[in-house]
Every structure is written in structure tokens, then in C-alpha cells.
Amino acid sequence: MPFVLRRSKELSLNLRAIARNWVKAMLYPRPIVGLLYLPTFFLHWSRYRKAAAATGQILRYGDMQPSLGDWSTHTPFDAHYFYQGAWLARKLRASAPQHHFDISSSVLTISVLSAFVDVTFIDYRPLKARLSGLTCGSGDILALSNADDSVNSLSCLHVIEHIGLGRYGDPIDPEGSNKAARELARVIAQGGTLYLSLPVGRERICFNAHRVHAAESVVAMFPGLTLVDFSLVDDAGAFHENVVLENARDLEYGCGMFTFQKS
């Protein structure tokens, strides 16, 4: 490749990388807030460059990859996903199933669970990952390939509230959550357990992100199953284990965690 063309290609790639890095800096972890941290970023850059010169390190403007907005007094986390993963892991450690099925829950949770229990993970958008203890496949929560009464241990965390809203490329269906609930109940074996989580509180449809259900409405979706216990994350992000359904009635956007059993 001629020198001029090679340099032109390298310049184009560098400019795209720089643009990508700066756009990401403005959007993650908190959109636009990163602008407030730019003065500190450039102050740190100047200090580091001066100190690094004595060690022979070289800093280039084109290699900048700003991580803005991470200066905080504590580690931020999503309370729903943090606590539901911890809740499910403790449930599975206590029940010790030989095999566990999961439908579309957080892949970060599933990767950890597969360290101590064999997990089959099914998602509408299949996970392309290879890991010991983990089997991945594609499937539709409205038409699972599992036979009736065939799964002894099943989880579905923060999923059914999305079904039918088109967010993930799925067909529009106002009955999506109810249909998903019926399909989960269909595949649970007699004596089997379903671990379910979804937003609870003031009932509404937040199109096209998710639905929020009253805790009692969630139980009503599973007439053939028995509620074993209920835990929740409240609006303040605090976790409450083994509480009554009424505790969720005044919530705006909590996370309800339901353990069901087919008797």
C-alpha cells in the first residue's frame, strides 16, 4: 500500500477511535454529566504528563480514553440487578438442583451461577459465549421448546415485563407478560420451583421499556403455582427479604422477587 494511502487510513482509524472514546465519555456512566469533570480531567492529564516525563512514558492526545463521572464517594450499582442476582444465587445454593434453566436473565448473573450449578440459558437473542457449566441456546419465552412439567428449577429475572413491547425485536403484544407467565408455568415440573423477578408498584405500562405490576397481580398470573416466599427492593434501593405482598403496594418502581412452586 502506498505510504500516503497507508497514512490516510491510519489517520481515519485514529480519528474514529478518538471520536468513539469521547462520545462514550459523555454518555457513560452518566450521560452528559461527564462535562462537569472535564476541567479535572485535563488538570490530571497535565500533572500525569509532567510526572511521566521523568520515567520515559509518552502520552499522546490521540490515545486519550476519558472515563468521566467515576469520581464518587461510593461504588454505584443497580439495586434491582444486584440484589436479584444475590437472591437467586442464595436460593440455588440452598436448593442445590442438579440442573438449572434460566430464561433471559442477566448474563452476568448467569455466568457466576454456572460456577456451582450446571445452567442452560435460553434467550431470544442467543448468548454467544463458551463457559464450563453453561449451555446457551435460543428460544422464545412465548413458545419454549421444553415439554410440559419438565423443568425442576427455573429462573426468569427482570424479563416478562418487557414481553410484547417490541424493545428487543419481539412482536407487539399487549398480553405479552401474561402469556410469558403461562409458558413458564407450563414447563415447571410437579414439585419444581420458579424464581421470578420483575418491577412492582403502581401498575402502568412504560412503553416501550417495561410494565410495572402490583405484587398481587403477579401472583394472579400463576394460578397453578403456589407462592413460597416474596422479597423486594424498595424505591430507595433497600433489600427486604421474606416480606408480605402488601409491602410493595405503595412503591413506584420496586423489584419483586417471587419463589413459586408447582404442587
Domain CATH code at residue 129: 3.40.50.150
Are 211 and 158 part of one and the same domain? yes
Q: Is the pLDDT of residue 220 over 90?
A: yes
Are 89 and 188 part of one and the same domain? yes
Q: How many domains does one find in the chain? A: 2
Are 129 and 240 part of one and the same domain? yes
The pLDDT confidence band at residue 228, using thresholds 50, 70 and 90, is very high
Residue 168 maps to a domain? yes
C-alpha span between 231 and 227 (Å, rounded): 11
C-alpha span between 195 and 100 (Å, rounded): 11
What sign has the CA pseudo-torsion 31, 33, 34, 38? Answer: positive
Residue 72 maps to a domain? no
| Residue 133: HSE in the Cβ half-sphere, 13 Å Cα cutoff | 11
Q: Which domain holds residue 240?
A: 79-261
* Over residues 232-241, mean pLDDT: 98
Are 9 and 128 part of one and the same domain? no
| Mean pLDDT of the residues in the chain | 91
Are 98 and 179 part of one and the same domain? yes
C-alpha span between 196 and 95 (Å, rounded): 15
Residue 147 maps to a domain? yes
pLDDT the model gives residue 61: 82
Around Cβ 139, how many Cβ atoms within 10 Å?
A: 17
Task: Spell out the residues 6+ positions from residue 152 whose beta carbon is closer than 8 angstroms to its own.
Answer: 97, 98, 99, 189, 191, 192, 193
**Of 249, 176, 188, whose CA–CA distance to 213 is shortest?**
249
Are 118 and 239 part of one and the same domain? yes
Are 92 and 181 part of one and the same domain? yes
Are 57 and 132 part of one and the same domain? no
Residue 137 maps to a domain? yes
The dihedrals phi and psi of 156, each to the nearest 5 degrees, come to -155, 95
Are 59 and 90 part of one and the same domain? no
Are 26 and 126 part of one and the same domain? no
Q: Could you tell me how many helices (H) and strands (E) the chain has, helices first?
A: 6, 10
Q: Which one has a higher pLDDT value, 10 or 120?
A: 120
75, amino acid identity: T
Residue 68 maps to a domain? no
pLDDT the model gives residue 41: 86
Residue 220 maps to a domain? yes
pLDDT the model gives residue 11: 56
Residue 7 maps to a domain? yes
Q: Which helix (H) or strand (E) holds 187?
A: helix 176-187
Interval 151-160: pLDDT, tens: 999 999 999 9
Are 192 and 220 part of one and the same domain? yes
Is 0.75 surpassed by the pTM of this model?
Answer: yes
Answer for the pair 172, 164: CB distance below 8 angstroms, yes or no.
yes
pLDDT the model gives residue 254: 98
Q: Which one has a higher pLDDT value, 128 or 17?
A: 128
Are 117 and 210 part of one and the same domain? yes
Q: Cell numbers of 117, please? A: 450449578
Residue 200 maps to a domain? yes
C-alpha span between 110 and 85 (Å, rounded): 8
